[in-house]
Structure 1
């Protein structure tokens, strides 16, 4: 039976969960298989991924067994809020986590593919506030060692950048898949980090010159809403207080 045709995706959610105890971490590890069944039976969701995270600033190949993420797409913000609040799978993850934070986003630009699909439908809505950047890449097995040798410098640079509001590195498969998620106060500060004469800018040049990735996705978003806490605070409170 063919899959149902879904409407254009205008809302993206990223939910982060922190699991403090060993039993909770073992539980969520098992959810990497069990939770898939819940999302496969969820008619409202479009594209979705269950992800782990990296240690330190998040952009490292060493996994952080305490932090996990659910990324999902929805036809609209109201549907996203309703399902994230009421769906049993999200309730279970919140119950077992020590802390969680969800951010709702609207794509403003997107190019490339993720698992052979274009998951985000960009809108023409203007974005005069903070900019969210998401990059996702599948590394070629022949080049991933070169990529990961550069990551500590990139991680240190983004961690020291005074402009970045929030950052985390997540991914589906260690070493071969990497997702970077960051929030910036404006396009200029984001572009300066991404393309300037620093570790990230030089890595981008190497990516292009040496063909590191077999699949790439670059997307930008505006923020619609957020709730919960991360690190004991609401991450966007820094923006609101500025």
Structure 2
């Protein structure tokens, strides 16, 4: 069964200069990784990823695997991933099964093998390519949405990332359950206003919304595993 992993990496000091070239240099090795059907190397911004100012200490790797065995082989035995771990201060990976997905990413539909929707923790990935003429307007809406997201009940973890975070935005969030996620996504006034504006004025060239069921983690983020108490 298809498995999606998201690895978030934190770098300090001179290790940042090792990581920056890897955004291109690591691609050939990933392209040749057995069982890896889709991947993205992602950067981040300040304020947890919700700022136009880049955060060169924080990066992420999104991978979609044919099955869990291929994923485990990569994280446990791949020379490439061992390099990422050795150079980073923190490396935290979430393993997930896709529950549903709509939209596209780089003209692909990466999440296609859906598991049965379960009660409990839910992970959400949203991503969009913003049309250039709408980028300034989009970012005026981000601070209010970010504030409301951080104050949301049931939120476990969130981060903003992206291929080019200024106009290719990705958000990843973890919630205690589906009802808490829905409360923010469909009932929060600031978030709903932003969503309505994107649709009304056609801000996005491409977008995707996907839900996942996390089932295990590796490593830590800032010294802790955000899902340790929940899985």
TM-score in terms of structure 2 length = 0.96
**Partner Cα distance (1:122, 1:135) in 2:** 18
**Partner Cα distance (1:43, 1:233) in 2:** 30
Query: In the TM superposition, what is the alpha-carbon distance from 1:192 to its structure 2 partner?
Result: 1.0
Partner of 1:16: 8
Deviations 1:41-97 (A, max 9, x none): 223211000000121132222211111111011011122111122111111100000
Deviations 1:198-241 (A, max 9, x none): 2211101111111110101110000121011112111012435x
2:29 match: secondary structure: helix
2:129 match: secondary structure: strand
Partner of 1:111: 102
Q: Is residue 69 of structure 2 the alignment partner of residue 78 of structure 1? A: yes
Q: Is residue 215 of structure 2 the alignment partner of residue 224 of structure 1? A: yes
Partner of 1:4: none
Q: Is residue 58 of structure 2 the alignment partner of residue 67 of structure 1? A: yes
- Residue 44 to residue 219, structure 1, CA distance change in 2 (3 Å): same
Mean Cα deviation higher: 204-213 or 118-127? 118-127
- Stretches (4+) displaced over 6 A: none
More strand, by proportion: 2
Q: Is residue 202 of structure 2 the alignment partner of residue 211 of structure 1? A: yes
**Partner Cα distance (2:5, 2:75) in 1:** 9
Query: In the TM superposition, what is the alpha-carbon distance from 1:40 to its structure 2 partner?
Result: 1.8
Q: Is residue 194 of structure 2 the alignment partner of residue 194 of structure 1? A: no
- Residue 214 to residue 236, structure 1, CA distance change in 2 (3 Å): same
**Partner Cα distance (1:122, 1:149) in 2:** 36
Partner of 1:58: 49
Deviations 1:124-148 (A, max 9, x none): 4231121100001000111111100
**Partner Cα distance (1:212, 1:238) in 2:** 38
Unaligned runs of 5+ in 2: none
Mean Cα deviation higher: 25-34 or 229-238? 229-238
Unaligned runs of 5+ in 1: 1-8
**Partner Cα distance (1:179, 1:238) in 2:** 25
Over the aligned positions, Cα root-mean-square deviation in angstroms equals 1.3
Aligned residues: 231
Query: In the TM superposition, what is the alpha-carbon distance from 1:120 to its structure 2 partner?
Result: 0.6
- Residue 168 to residue 197, structure 1, CA distance change in 2 (3 Å): closer
- Residue 106 to residue 33, structure 1, CA distance change in 2 (3 Å): same
